[in-house]
A and B are shown apart, each in its own frame.
Chain A
Amino acid sequence: EPEVTQTPSHQVTQMGQEVILRCVPISNHLYFYWYRQILGQKVEFLVSFYNNEISEKSEIFDDQFSVERPDGSNFTLKIRSTKLEDSAMYFCASSEERGVGGELFFGEGSRLTVL
């Protein structure tokens, strides 16, 4: 069964460092998303991406964050100058269509720990 894969599964970084989280969405999917879940809290929408541009982003997704689909298969989330409060589980998701018509398929997440 096709699946969304994310790397790394866990990354530890020093505050102020840049981090890139990688995702390989399901191959025929067109819509891509990043969500994050701070430990014990809700799953928060960060950004949606379609046709090589951001469709929508949340207030959390400020200038510190960027997304890119560099090569047609990977979908990356870059966090510049990480802060302690960026520590969270970051989930990538993809869907074939928008909304349900397109079920969101989630990866297993990348846990980011900022020290």
Chain B
Amino acid sequence: GEDVEQSLFLSVREGDSSVINCTYTDSSSTYLYWYKQEPGAGLQLLTYIFSNMDMKQDQRLTVLLNKKDKHLSLRIADTQTGDSAIYFCAELYSSASKIIFGSGTRLSIRP
């Protein structure tokens, strides 16, 4: 079946690293994504990773992919208050005509 699972909440101290985890089900997914949703806004693509990669780094963001365990993570270094949002993990389903989203992880930053 199609399912992408994430924990619902994460709270971190400002300046610390945030790690948001995700598991997915479609082993033939070719692309996996992280989207960010700020309050009242749409979904913004943060980064994506090809399934033949283990890691991708983009400034403060690091994506790790464990294809064997179907586990994806997003690490945000030096978390800032502006990083407060809901982060959605998503996979390009094997049919390639749709992206399936997880339920989102709400990241809150404490001072």
Contacts and interface: CB of A to CB of B under 8 A. Distances in A.
Interface of A: 4, 31, 33, 35, 41-45, 48, 50, 55-56, 58, 91, 93, 98-100, 103-109
Interface stretch (B10-18, B62-70, B77-85, B97-105): B97-105
13 contacts: A41-B103, A42-B101, A42-B104, A43-B101, A45-B100, A45-B101, A91-B42, A99-B30, A99-B92, A100-B92, A104-B45, A106-B42, A109-B42
B53 interface: no
A42 B45 CA distance: 16
B101 A56 contact: no
Interface string B19-37: 0000000000011010000
A107 B42 contact: yes
B44 A42 contact: no
A56 B42 contact: no
Contact of A100 (B41, B48, B100, B103): B48
A45 B99 CA distance: 7
Q: Is the interface on chain B under 10, 10 to 19, 20 to 34, or 35 or more residues?
A: 20 to 34
Contacts, number: 56
B59 interface: no
A56 B96 CA distance: 10
Interface of B: 4, 30-31, 33, 40-45, 48, 88, 92, 95-104
A48 B97 CA distance: 7
A90 to B, nearest CB: 11
Contacts of B104: 42-43
Contacts of A4: 42
Contacts of B44: 106
Nearest to B88: A43
